[in-house]
């Protein structure tokens, strides 16, 4: 009972942080431009520090590198599902469903949950999954979807690599993975600094979600929204159960993969939808509602798994 109460208390506190960001935005405390500032702090400062801090506390098993493959595979799986449910739709419909049913918002959403409920090994597994996820979300997914849509710029290998290397979390993932595999330790002062800054990541990431949360949608689009969310979370539950039951890894790693599977749609899906001249309003609504759905699902999963 105490464990149940602890999970619910922390999950409610997470929701309250998101609500705080949303209410403060509505009251004028935060302006729309502040979302970009907070997101830059999270992506370029607190998340990389959280990655450094948590990787420094584990003894890396080379088998965990398989999580990178899982990150790639999960994206391919959801992309293919988005295509298959759209066979009767036009090119734009196929592209939209593929883009907005795939990808995972790991760094800004799932990691705060993992950081708070699981140990360093679970955090490392989540980070490695996000390495594979980032490779897809920041270039390959858009390349494939733009080909299906028959429009939009098609990134070259050079532009995809450049995009990845410009991502501070991705660089931190790669650097710390290499150091962990080689059993190389960072100076204690660096680890201490990273731990102090990284401890702010969960709060700022959730506050940022609240600041950016917005749903404006006409009734005529609700059917499309429901179709994509049902597809996404039907697949998510299937993958979460499969990961927890069948992956040949420690309990914390299997828990982490189950939580990652239930996470929301990639935060870059809306931006890429706009680049392809798709329905940005609908994409934004899907993104926001997937956050709400994932909060409920991750809380339920934690009650079952912990």
pLDDT recorded at residue 177: 82
Q: What is the CATH number of the domain that holds 48?
A: 1.20.1530.20
pLDDT digits (tens, 9 = 90+) for 222-232: 888 899 999 99
From the list 127, 154, 117, 151, the residue with the least C-alpha distance to 56 is 127
Q: Which residue has the higher pLDDT, 105 or 241?
A: 241
Residue 153's Cβ-count burial label (10 Å; 0-12, 13-18, 19+) is exposed
> With 80 as the cut, is the pLDDT of residue 5 above it?
no
pLDDT at 150: 76
Q: Which residue range is the domain that position 166 belongs to?
A: 2-213+222-305
Is residue 152 scored above 60 in pLDDT? no
Query: At 60, phi and psi to the nearest 5?
Result: -65, 130
What mean pLDDT do residues 89-114 have?
A: 87
CA distance 103 to 91: 20
Terminal Cα-to-Cα distance of the chain (whole angstroms): 11
Name the most confidently modeled range: 15-19, 74-78, 146-150, 210-214: 74-78
CB 91 within 8 A of CB 150: yes
Q: What pLDDT score was predicted for residue 58?
A: 74
Q: Tell me, what's the pLDDT at 263?
A: 92
Total of domains in the chain: 1
């Amino acid at each position: 009972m105490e464990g149940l109460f602890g999970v619910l208390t922390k999950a409610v506190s997470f929701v309250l942080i998101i609500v705080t960001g949303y209410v403060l935005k509505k009251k004028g405390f935060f302006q729309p431009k502040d979302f970009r500032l907070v997101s830059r702090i999270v992506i370029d400062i607190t998340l990389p520090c959280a990655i450094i801090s948590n990787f420094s506390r584990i003894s890396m098993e080379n088998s965990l590198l398989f999580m990178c493959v899982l990150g790639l595979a999960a994206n391919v799986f959801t992309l293919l599902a988005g295509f298959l449910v759209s066979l009767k739709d036009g090119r734009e419909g196929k592209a939209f469903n593929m883009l907005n049913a795939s990808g995972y918002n790991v760094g800004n959403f799932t990691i705060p949950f993992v950081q708070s409920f699981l140990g360093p090994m679970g955090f490392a597994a989540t980070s490695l999954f996000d390495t594979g996820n980032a490779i897809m979300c920041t270039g390959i997914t858009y390349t494939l979807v733009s080909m299906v849509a028959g429009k939009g710029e098609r990134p070259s290998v050079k532009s995809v690599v450049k995009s990845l290397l410009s991502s501070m979390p991705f660089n931190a993932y790669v650097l710390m993975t290499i150091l962990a595999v080689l059993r190389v330790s960072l100076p204690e002062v660096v680890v201490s600094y990273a731990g102090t800054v990284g401890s702010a990541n969960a709060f700022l990431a959730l506050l940022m979600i609240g600041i950016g949360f917005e749903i404006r949608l006409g009734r005529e689009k609700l059917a499309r929204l429901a179709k994509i969310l049902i597809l996404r979370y039907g697949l998510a539950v299937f993958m979460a159960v499969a990961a927890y039951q069948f992956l040949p890894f420690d309990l914390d790693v299997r828990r982490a993969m189950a939580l990652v599977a239930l996470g929301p749609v990639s935060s870059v899906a809306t931006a890429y939808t706009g680049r392809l001249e798709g329905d940005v309003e609908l994409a934004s609504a899907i993104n926001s509602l997937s956050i709400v759905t994932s909060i409920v699902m991750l809380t339920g999963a934690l009650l079952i798994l912990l």
